[in-house]
Amino acid sequence: MLNISNNSIASRIDINAHKVLRAVESKKSGKIIQRIIIWSMIIILIILILPWTQNIRTSGSLTTLNPDQRPQEIQSVISGRIDEWRVKEGDLVKKGDTIAIISEIKDAYFDVDLLKRTQNQLDLKKRSVDSYTGKLEAQNSQLEALINIRNLESNKIKIKVRQLRLKIQNDSIAFEAAKLDQSIAQYQYERMDSLHRKGLKSLADLEARRTKAQQAASKELSAYNQWESDKNELLNLQIELNNINAKFESDYSKILSDKFSTETNKFETETTINKLENQFSNYQVRQGYHVIKAPQDGYVTKVMVQGIGETVKEGAPILSFMPKTYDLAVAIYVDPIDMPLMNVGQHVRLQFDGWPAIVFSGWPGASYGTYGGEIYGMDQFISPNGKYRVLVKPDHTSDHKWPKDLRVGGGTKAMILLNDVPVYYELWRKINGFPPEFYEVEHKEKTKSK
C-alpha cells in the first residue's frame, strides 16, 4: 500500500491472498524497476551517440537529362488547313512518320503550278543575263576596234606631220637660198646699171641683168609661198589629228556609256535571279511543310486541333509529343536558406510516388524503397515558386537502379544527404536553431584518396 495516511489498514488485509499486491510489496520489484531505469538510460545514451546523417527533405518531379527528351509540342510552321490525320492519341510513331497533312490558305500559294512558273521566270532571266553578257562582249570588241582605228589614223597623221616638218625645214632652206640669190642678182643688176651709165656696159647687158634679178625675185617669192603653204598644211594635219582624237573620245564615251548601261541591266537581272532563286527555294521548302512529320521516335499524347478542315496559324501547336527514349532525372526545389549547402556531386536519396518505402531520415542506409541520386546541376536564379531548382541524375554507384516504369512528371520526395553527426549533436542543433553541417565533395574525395 502507499501508506500515506496515519490510519494504516495493513493489518486488515491478507497480502498473500492477492498476487499483484504480493509482487508489488516484494523487495524484488524495486530492483526490477531500478534495472529498467538503468537499461533505459544506457539505451538512450547509446542512441544519443549513434551517427545521424543530416539531411534536407524536399519534393520535386521527374524530368529528363537532355532537353530533346522532354515532352514537346509539335507546331505548324506555316498557316494552313488540316486535310488529313495519320495518327491518333497514344500512337507510337517513328522519326519521319507522317502525322498530318495540311493545305494552303493564303492566295499567294494557291497556284498548283507555282514552282513551274517560277522556274520559267528564272530560266528567262538567266537567258537575259546571257544576252547581256554577249552584248558586253560585243561592246568590248567595239571599244578595242575603235582604239585600233584611232591608233592607226593617229599614227598615219603623225607620220605625215613628221614628213611635212622635214619638208618645211627644206622649204625654209630653199627660201633662204632664193633670198640670197635675189640679193646677189639685185646687186649685180645695180652694178651693171652703174657701169651702163658710165658707158662701160651696153644696154643689152643691163637688160640681161635686170631679167636675172627679176627671175631671182620670182624664185624667192615662190620659195616663200611654198614654205608658208607647207606650214598651213602642217597646221591642218594637227587640226585633223585633234579631230580624230575628239571623234574617238566621243565614240568611245558613247560605247562605254552603253556598256555601263548593259552592265547595270545585267546586275539588275542577276539581282532578280537571286530573288527568284530565293523565292523558288522558299516555295520548295514551304511545300515540304504541307506534311507534318514526327521529329523523333515517340508517342502522340494529346491532339490540340480536332477534325478536318480546321485552320491553324503558323507556330501554333497541333499536338503534344513524348519521345520514346529518355534518360530520367529529378527536379527538386530547395529553399534559399538551404541553397548554400548544395554542391554538384552531392548524394540524394529519392522516394518515387507509387513505390512503397520505409524511410529513416537519419539512417538512409536503413531506409527501404529509396533510390540513390547525385546532384548534377543547380539553377543560378530563383524559380517562380520562391525556391531554387536542383537537378538530380541517377547514381550509378547506388545499390538499386531506378524503376523502369517511372514516367516523366511523376512526383518524388528527396533527402539531400549532408554530414554525419551524433544524434545528441543533431538534437542540440535543432533546439538552438543552428544550420546543419555540410561538406564539400572535393574534400570528401581527398579524404577517400588519403
Tens digit of each residue's pLDDT (9 = 90 or more) over 255-277: 999 999 999 999 999 999 999 99
Residue % of the chain over a pLDDT of 90: 20
Could you read off the pLDDT of 389-443 as tens digits, one per residue?
999 998 877 667 888 888 888 888 887 776 666 767 667 766 766 566 644 444 4
- Give the burial class of 328: count Cβ atoms within 10 A of its Cβ; 0-12 exposed, 13-18 middle, 19 or more buried: buried
Nearest to 63 by CA among 385, 350, 426: 350
Specify whether the CB–CB gap between 413 and 398 falls below 8 A. no
Who contacts 399 (Cβ-Cβ below 8 Å, separation ≥6)? 372
The arithmetic mean of pLDDT across residues 176-200, rounded, is: 81
3-state secondary structure the chain: CCCCCCCCCHHHCCHHHCHHHHHHHCCHHHHHHHHHHHHHHHHHHHHHHCEEEEEEEEEEEEEECCHHHCCEEEECCCCEEEEEECCCCCCEECCCCEEEEEECCCHHHCCCCHHHHHHHHHHHHHHHHHHHHHHHHHHHHHHHHHHHHHHHHHHHHHHHHHHHHHHHHHHHHHHHHHHHHHHHHHHHHHHHHHHHHCCCCCHHHHHHHHHHHHHHHHHHHHHHHHHHHHHHHHHHHHHHHHHHHHHHHHHHHHHHHHHHHHHHHHHHHHHHHHHHHHHHHHHHHHHHCCEEECCCCEEEEEECCCCCCCEECCCCEEEEEEECCCCEEEEEEECCCCHHHCCCCCEEEEEECCCCCECCCCCHHHCECCEEEEEEEECCCCCCCCCEEEEEEECCCCCCCCCCCCCCCCEEEEEEEEEEEEHHHHHHHHHHCCCCCCCCHHHHHHHHHC
Give the integer Cα–Cα distance in Å for 332 and 385: 12
Give the integer Cα–Cα distance in Å for 410 and 322: 14
Could you read off the pLDDT of 122-152 as tens digits, one per residue?
999 999 999 999 999 999 999 999 999 988 9
Q: Which of 43-47, 94-98, 445-449 shows the highest mean pLDDT?
A: 94-98
Statement: residue 1 has pLDDT above 80 = no
The residue to which cell 538530380 is assigned: 392
Residue 159: C-alpha distances to residues 67, 142, 145, 152, 237 (Å): 87, 26, 21, 11, 10
Statement: residue 450 has pLDDT above 50 = no
Give the integer Cα–Cα distance in Å for 177 and 173: 6
The pLDDT score that the predictor gives to residue 25 is 61
Specify whether the CB–CB gap between 393 and 43 falls below 8 A. no
Who contacts 61 (Cβ-Cβ below 8 Å, separation ≥6)? 330, 331, 409, 410, 411, 412
Give the integer Cα–Cα distance in Å for 63 and 330: 5
Select the more confidently predicted residue: 75 or 363.
Answer: 75
Select the more confidently predicted residue: 205 or 293.
Answer: 293
Nearest to 417 by CA among 442, 437, 446: 437
Phi, psi for 94 (deg, rounded to 5):
-100, 165
Give the integer Cα–Cα distance in Å for 299 and 319: 11
pTM surpassing 0.75? no
The pLDDT score that the predictor gives to residue 8 is 64
Cα-to-chain-centroid distance, residue 135: 41
Select the more confidently predicted residue: 432 or 64.
Answer: 64
Give the integer Cα–Cα distance in Å for 124 and 111: 20
Indicate the pLDDT class of residue 447, thresholds 50, 70 and 90: very low
The pLDDT score that the predictor gives to residue 150 is 87
Nearest to 304 by CA among 74, 43, 9, 27: 74
The pLDDT score that the predictor gives to residue 444 is 45
Strand partners, 63: 329
Residues, the chain:
450
What is the average pLDDT score of the chain? 82
Q: In the chain, what are the domains?
A: 1-49 (no CATH), 53-68+326-449 (2.40.30.170), 71-104+290-323 (2.40.50.100), 114-261 (1.10.287)
The pLDDT score that the predictor gives to residue 421 is 67
C-alpha cell recorded at residue 18? 492477492
- The HSE-up count of residue 344 (CA atoms within 13 Å, CB side) is 5
